[in-house]
Amino acid sequence: MIENITVWELGEDSDTWFVEGTSDAHSADEAVRGWVEINTGQTIEAFTDADDLVEFNFKLRKDWHWLPGGDPKNPLVEAALLYPHDGLLVPDNVQLMGPFTGILVQS
């Protein structure tokens, strides 16, 4: 089976990503490492000036949602990733996008 994996960088610190298209931590690890190399031209270890191999923390959930950003033509610009069961209250008039299965990856 061929996985169609998408990596989204969350924030501007280059330490958190959301990986869609797999439920496997190994595949998510490889996808993030590949994404960093493609987008920075460096391994994640070189990009972050790490002395050792960068290890990730993974959180798989099957009902992630995107809270759209302010641009109706491209709602993923400035969108926020959220997990509704964490007690976050979203106003009734806000349309969430999802649910999505994916892995939150943090270095």
Tell me whether residue 42 is in a domain. Answer: yes
| Domain interval for residue 37 | 6-106
pLDDT tens readout for residues 47-105:
888 888 899 999 999 999 998 988 989 988 888 888 877 666 677 777 888 898 999 99
Q: What does the DSSP assignment read for 46-67?
A: HHTT-SS----EEEEEEEEEEE
Tell me whether residue 81 is in a domain. Answer: yes
Q: What angle do CA 21, 27, 30 make, to 5 degrees?
A: 120
Considering its fold, how many domains does the chain have in total? 1
Q: Give the pLDDT of residue 93.
A: 77
Tell me whether residue 73 is in a domain. Answer: yes
Tell me whether residue 80 is in a domain. Answer: yes
Tell me whether residue 75 is in a domain. Answer: yes
Tell me whether residue 1 is in a domain. Answer: no
> What gap in Å lies between CA 64 and CA 20, rounded to an integer?
10
pLDDT tens readout for residues 13-33:
778 999 999 999 999 999 999
Tell me whether residue 20 is in a domain. Answer: yes
Does position 2 have pLDDT exceeding 70, yes or no?
no
